[in-house]
């Protein structure tokens, strides 16, 4: 059996769920994996629910369809819980990671009887405190890495640091803020 991890992202247009899925693909790629990162495209605009996907494996996956039975689901915007069936097909051995200040116990009743792990992380708060703006991407990315172990966490932290240093070479304070957000998220994610 191939070791393949499939992840589905739910967000709203403009929040960066697609970017986060591509960043996760990058991180996994950098640790030697085969990756797929792709959004489901449509006429969506700012604020409309969007979906993005990752396949991460040690052998190339040839499948080019969307993901219907994900191992993990990431919800970048808590308000989607009532609008979208986020746990559809989600494997109970997997987990759902939700951007929320609430506890897993508070959110589980909204998840249509999902039996697997429910994880929450207040990515908005972390982002506000560390970056001064609501960019939930980086903390969400860190949380799914921590929960799924799809990328080895230490390697992930090192890789992200190198990536930020490259991207924000002229703004060292942004690098530090992002790294703090990343590490906090990995520590603060609640697994219920």
Instruction: State which residue, 51 or 190, has the beta carbon closest to other proteins.
Output: 51
Q: Which of these ranges, 57-65, 94-102, 136-144, 172-180, lies near other proteins under the rule CB under 8 A?
A: 57-65
Give the span between the Cα atoms of 158 and 146, in whole angstroms.
14
Choose which of 14, 45, 47, 63 interacts with other proteins (CB under 8 A).
63
Q: How far is the CB of 91 from other proteins (least distance, A)?
A: 16
Give the span between the Cα atoms of 66 and 153, in whole angstroms.
27
Given the structure tokens 């996994």, which residue do they identify?
A: 28
- Looking from the CA of 149 toward its CB, the CA atoms found within 13 Å total 2
CA-CA distances (angstroms) from residue 19 to 12, 50, 53, 139, 181?
12, 12, 11, 13, 17
Q: Give strand pairing partners of 57.
A: 4, 34
Choose which of 43, 82, 109, 170 interacts with other proteins (CB under 8 A).
43
Instruction: State which residue, 51 or 127, has the beta carbon closest to other proteins.
Output: 51
Give the span between the Cα atoms of 28 and 98, in whole angstroms.
21
Q: Does 61 bind other proteins (CB under 8 A)?
A: yes
Q: Does 31 bind other proteins (CB under 8 A)?
A: no
Instruction: State which residue, 18 or 184, has the beta carbon closest to other proteins.
Output: 18
Given the structure tokens 């990343």, which residue do they identify?
A: 182
Q: Does 19 bind other proteins (CB under 8 A)?
A: no
How many residues lie near other proteins (CB under 8 A)? 21
Choose which of 19, 31, 38, 155 interacts with other proteins (CB under 8 A).
38
CA-CA distances (angstroms) from residue 138 to 36, 165, 173?
19, 14, 15
CA-CA distances (angstroms) from residue 167 to 88, 133, 137, 174?
36, 18, 15, 10
Q: How far is the CB of 50 from other proteins (least distance, A)?
A: 13
Q: Does 39 bind other proteins (CB under 8 A)?
A: yes
Q: Does 42 bind other proteins (CB under 8 A)?
A: yes
Choose which of 62, 113, 154, 170 interacts with other proteins (CB under 8 A).
62
**What is the binding site for other proteins (CB under 8 A)?**
22, 25-26, 29, 34-39, 41-43, 60-66, 68
């Amino acid at each position: 059996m191939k070791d393949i991890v499939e992840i589905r992202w739910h967000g709203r247009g403009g929040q960066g769920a697609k970017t986060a899925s591509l960043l996760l693909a990058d991180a996994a790629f950098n640790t030697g994996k085969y990756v797929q990162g792709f959004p489901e495209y449509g006429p969506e605009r700012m604020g409309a629910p969007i979906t993005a996907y990752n396949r991460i494996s040690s052998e190339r996956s040839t499948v080019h369809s969307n993901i219907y039975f994900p191992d993990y689901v990431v919800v970048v915007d808590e308000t989607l819980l009532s609008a979208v069936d986020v746990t559809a097909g989600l494997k109970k051995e997997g987990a759902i990671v939700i951007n929320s200040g609430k506890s897993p116990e508070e959110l589980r009743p909204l998840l249509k009887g999902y039996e697997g792990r429910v994880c929450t992380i207040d990515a908005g708060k972390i982002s506000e405190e560390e970056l001064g703006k609501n960019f939930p991407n980086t903390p969400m990315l860190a949380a799914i890495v921590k929960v799924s172990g799809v990328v080895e966490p230490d390697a992930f932290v090192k890789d992200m640091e190198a990536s930020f240093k490259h991207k924000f070479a002229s703004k060292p304070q942004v690098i530090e803020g992002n790294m703090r957000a990343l590490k906090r998220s990995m520590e603060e994610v609640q697994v219920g």
